[in-house]
Chains A and B, each alone.
Chain A
């Protein structure tokens, strides 16, 4: 008998632990204080996390008299957003989401459509200060759901010395106001390739992740094409059109002529092996801290010779309030606070991030280096958000695989055929998701 009791006791104890582990519900605050909880995707000891903590402290100080307290929880993400997103997904099934979450730009549509996040229009009236690319990214079906933490962009880094040695007059290089066409850019590549007998530029074509879509979609947009229709419901008949073929032909030519490569030497630009690299604004930080002897400049994207229209990528993680929040007014206030002018400025000063507001941009451009300002100007005038669709994961993968396909140019001479195959994958995913 004793044994049985012991066994039952230990079993129920185990069960209790198990249940307790799953049921960590938030306790009501006894003092009547309103608590606004927030999850962020970075760790508390990195620069970005430190800024968030500071801004939350400032929020609490400002609203201390109103009996409101914001609490921040750091859930660092791993490489592709895992870890953090897993936690959000788990919280969805158990109904334990906080009031405010961060989410990656392309997730806006999926989260908004599924009712994970709530729109901010009721609470945030003044939206004119936001950069258009940020509004575009955070808007789903006409409503603003999320506001970017910061902005980013991609440009072409060049090694000043290597270009000079190849006989390029740096004064003739393109600017945001006066960009080069693909043809002019190819000529530069030819010159550099002949001089150094190496690929002229690392376009990061070896990576098979989001950077491919992020950096290469602007070529399609520049040619006057798009990946999805305006309402996000059609890919077939939009993506597999002539402008995309033109953009893909340009990328293929870069590969065919040996101007760029699918298998670049590691850190070829940073160690001055290749004269150019196509990369995001974040590379500035890397160059400053790890490769400070590289004398570099940044030029904007080359443009389609037909349209001459400069388009650049944009986007980043964002703040949004959850549908589950019981304190929407304060949750929205916190979202607004974390992305306001002061937060922008503080974040941009600590990491190489671009601001999301005109008001903060005005202050920051005076402090930024010339290179940062190329990115800022390019973003402000030509930034284009990635497509807003719940099927984004499949759409972006189909795009990345299109690049993968066309980079094996001897097997895929017919670009139109590649596009027609890949667009079917996009379309069926979109149909399923809508």
Chain B
């Protein structure tokens, strides 16, 4: 009797496990099926090319002679650090990032605060501020080129109205990069504004009411309630804006072609130029690899700093 019971129960266990596994596998299979196309595309257009680029960075791959490429070790990287245009483009990119981040995020936060009240006109303003984000960067760049034209551009006309002398903007090696910063911030701020708005609307109203009862003024409420509670949103915005700022390409490509005197040459633009115009795919890959590493390190450092901040 005892034996039979044992016999009956024991084999039952593995079967049960099997069916559980089977069900789990089935669930997983469905999940993988949905993931499949996306994973395949990611594999083909992101993972494999990235691995290939890492390999190319150590070769002398010339675009027209793909079969003759050979491994040359760190030669590309040694040359890189002696390449004045690369160093200049790296400097320009860092300058751009450092100038853009406070401007764009500040503008986005300011706009979000302005729009975070229930007013009828706000829907219109939301759309208005967001519209540059959905427009093509090329279109925006061309439009701004008209506005900034030193001879007949609207901006110089407005300046003239106020008795200011016309500015060269994009045609001056000193002003070009600042001009691109302003145009980029104008274009990009709308997106961060929406994210900030969502963050602001998540802050419960009663916290403000409590603070008001405690006698906090508007400024204090902003500093001690709004800002700290917006922190998770800000971290996200900071990191994404930073990464996209590093990738600056279209605006200088369309508006200045990297000039005047290389003052708006950015790293990504230089990668494009060495790889596709000069056909030095190996060299371009080595810039891409180095630059990718730099962005990775900056992002890591940033996350670490933010985390430490949270511990306090």
What is the CA–CA distance of A93 and B64 in the complex, to the nearest angstrom?
Answer: 8
Does A310 make an interface contact (CB < 8 A)?
A: no
Among A95-116, those with CB < 8 Å from B are 110-111, 114-116
Partner of B151, one of A7, A86, A265, A432: A265
Query: In the complex, what's the smallest C-beta–C-beta distance from A394 to chain B, in angstroms?
Result: 6
Are A82 and B151 in touch, CB under 8 angstroms? no
Are A114 and B65 in touch, CB under 8 angstroms? yes
Against A, the Cβ 8 Å flags (1 = close, 0 = not) of B134-159 are 00000000000000011110000000
Partner of B257, one of A7, A82, A93, A209: A209
Against B, the Cβ 8 Å flags (1 = close, 0 = not) of A422-434 are 0001000100100
Against A, the Cβ 8 Å flags (1 = close, 0 = not) of B259-296 are 11110000000000000111110000000000000000
CB neighbours (8 Å) of B62 from chain A are: 114
Chain A interface SS verdict (over half): helix
CB neighbours (8 Å) of A80 from chain B are: 277
- Interface 9-mer from A9-17, A54-62, A162-170: A9-17
Query: In the complex, what's the smallest C-beta–C-beta distance from A381 to chain B, in angstroms?
Result: 33
- Which residue of A is nearest B256, CB measured? A208
Are B171 and A263 in touch, CB under 8 angstroms? yes
Are A208 and B259 in touch, CB under 8 angstroms? yes
What is the CA–CA distance of A82 and B273 in the complex, to the nearest angstrom?
Answer: 12
Does B114 make an interface contact (CB < 8 A)?
A: no
CB neighbours (8 Å) of B63 from chain A are: 89, 92
Given the contacts A7-B36, A11-B36, A115 and B171 also touching, CB distance less than 8 Å: no
CB neighbours (8 Å) of A393 from chain B are: 277-279
- Which residue of A is nearest B36, CB measured? A11
- Which residue of B is nearest A15, CB measured? B40
Against A, the Cβ 8 Å flags (1 = close, 0 = not) of B24-56 are 011001101100110010001000000000000
Query: In the complex, what's the smallest C-beta–C-beta distance from B181 to chain A, in angstroms?
Result: 20
Given the contacts A7-B33, A11-B40, A265 and B171 also touching, CB distance less than 8 Å: no
Does A405 make an interface contact (CB < 8 A)?
A: yes
What is the CA–CA distance of A106 and B42 in the complex, to the nearest angstrom?
Answer: 37
Given the contacts A89-B63, A110-B64, A209-B257, A7 and B276 also touching, CB distance less than 8 Å: no
Against B, the Cβ 8 Å flags (1 = close, 0 = not) of A26-52 are 000000000000000000000000000
Size band of the interface chain B makes with A? 35 or more
- Which residue of A is nearest B60, CB measured? A432
CB neighbours (8 Å) of A7 from chain B are: 29, 32-33, 36
Does B199 make an interface contact (CB < 8 A)?
A: no
Does B91 make an interface contact (CB < 8 A)?
A: no
CB neighbours (8 Å) of B163 from chain A are: none
Are B261 and A408 in touch, CB under 8 angstroms? yes
Chain B interface SS verdict (over half): loop
What is the CA–CA distance of A206 and B148 in the complex, to the nearest angstrom?
Answer: 14
Given the contacts A18-B40, A265-B152, A408-B261, A93 and B33 also touching, CB distance less than 8 Å: no
Does B173 make an interface contact (CB < 8 A)?
A: yes
What is the CA–CA distance of A110 and B64 in the complex, to the nearest angstrom?
Answer: 8
CB neighbours (8 Å) of A432 from chain B are: 280
CB neighbours (8 Å) of A171 from chain B are: none
Given the contacts A18-B44, A393-B278, A405-B261, A114 and B36 also touching, CB distance less than 8 Å: no
Are B40 and A14 in touch, CB under 8 angstroms? yes
What is the CA–CA distance of A188 and B150 in the complex, to the nearest angstrom?
Answer: 26
Partner of A4, one of B29, B149, B262, B277: B29
Are B150 and A263 in touch, CB under 8 angstroms? yes
Against B, the Cβ 8 Å flags (1 = close, 0 = not) of A256-270 are 000000111110000
What is the CA–CA distance of A263 and B260 in the complex, to the nearest angstrom?
Answer: 12
Are B30 and A3 in touch, CB under 8 angstroms? yes
Are B44 and A82 in touch, CB under 8 angstroms? no
Does B168 make an interface contact (CB < 8 A)?
A: yes
Query: In the complex, what's the smallest C-beta–C-beta distance from B270 to chain A, in angstroms?
Result: 11
- Which residue of A is nearest B39, CB measured? A11
- Which residue of A is nearest B262, CB measured? A401
A3-B33, A10-B33, A110-B279 known; 7 new pairs, CB 8 Å cut-off, are A4-B25, A82-B276, A89-B64, A92-B66, A263-B171, A393-B277, A401-B262
Residues of A at the B interface (CB closer than 8 Å) are 3-4, 6-7, 10-11, 14-15, 18, 80, 82, 86, 89, 92-93, 110-111, 114-116, 206, 208-209, 262-266, 393-394, 397, 401, 404-405, 408, 425, 429, 432
Q: List 7 A-B contacts (CB under 8 A).
A: A14-B37, A86-B276, A92-B64, A110-B279, A208-B259, A263-B150, A397-B277
